[in-house]
Amino acid sequence: MSGDDYLFLGTNTPFSTGGFDGLSLDRAGLNMGYERFWNTRWSGGATLGLSSYSTTGGGDVSSLYVDVVPELFLRHWNTLGSFNFRQRMGVEYLIPGGVGNESRARTRLRFDLDRLIPVGGQVVLRPRLSYEAFAYLRFQRDEDDPKERTIDFTALRGEVGFRLSDHFDFTPWFAYQSAYSNVLQQTDIDGKVVIPGGRRNFVTPVLGLDLRYTIFKGKQAFERRQLPTQH
């Protein structure tokens, strides 16, 4: 598109490791979106995420489910010394495809720092660190509903992007993704508490690789502001 505005389309296929089964494909996702730049400081847009998955029960594979997540977001651009400093806030609505799951609204806030380092020719490195927090929007809670944490998920991510040309770049990254819950206590057959209830934090390390190909409007590449591969 013209200027710094852009459309994007992406896919993701997370894998998990476990047991003697080796790698297993958990789900497959499709993401698309549009971002418009109003000036050098502010941009915003909308995204739509689709995530397909199947579950197993009793040894049988269930039907395919698809979660739908539309989002509106706003991004602010700034600098902190020699680093780019961005803040991104989004509001999204999760529409689950699985049976028995309720649709919920949630908000997310991300801070990220990066720096472009030319290393010769067209090759540019982009070391980057980001931190993102997710929270479900709770407008009203019934008295008998289980109490939830204020922040539901966080993600701390470090990466180094490699831009090899105007069109192609790739980014290996590592992240700690945390889920925050309140769990019920567990007892044995005599009623003794085996595992106490209360707050629990579940941390999952994730290793990933992003690949991106940029298509410019017209036949020639032109100078534009390029986002990290983590949109």
The 10s digit of each residue's pLDDT in 145-186 is: 666 778 899 999 999 999 998 889 999 999 999 998 877 777
The tokens describing 141, both together, are 């809670």
Section 61-77 average pLDDT:
88
pLDDT band, residue 20 (cuts 50/70/90):
very low
Of the candidate ranges 2-6, 17-21, 23-27, 118-122, the one whose mean pLDDT is the lowest = 17-21
Distance between CA atoms of residues 44 and 5, nearest Å: 10
Q: Between residues 21 and 190, which one has the greater pLDDT?
A: 190
Q: What is the pLDDT of residue 19?
A: 47
Residue 202 resides in a domain: yes
Tokens at 121, concatenated: 């020719």
Residue 231 lies in a domain: no
Give the list of residues 6+ apart from residue 104 with CB closer than 8 angstroms, or none.
Answer: 93, 94, 136, 137
Q: What confidence tens digit (pLDDT) does each residue in 102-161 have?
A: 888 999 999 999 999 999 888 999 999 999 999 988 766 666 666 677 889 999 999 999
Q: Classify residue 181: in a domain, yes or no.
A: yes
Q: Could you tell me if residue 224 is inside a domain?
A: no
Which whole number is the average pLDDT over 23-41?
84
Q: Note whether residue 204 is domain-resident.
A: yes
Element (H, E) at 211: strand 198-213
CATH number for the domain including 144? 2.40.128
Specify the pLDDT at position 197.
Answer: 72
Query: How far is residue 27's CA from residue 51's CA, in Å, rounded to a whole number?
Result: 7
Quick check: pTM over 0.85?
A: no
Overall number of domains in the chain: 1
Q: What percent of the chain has pLDDT over 90?
A: 48
The answer to whether position 197 is within a domain reads yes
Number of neighbours of residue 88 by Cβ within 10 angstroms: 21
Q: Is residue 223 part of a domain?
A: no
Domain that holds residue 156: 6-213
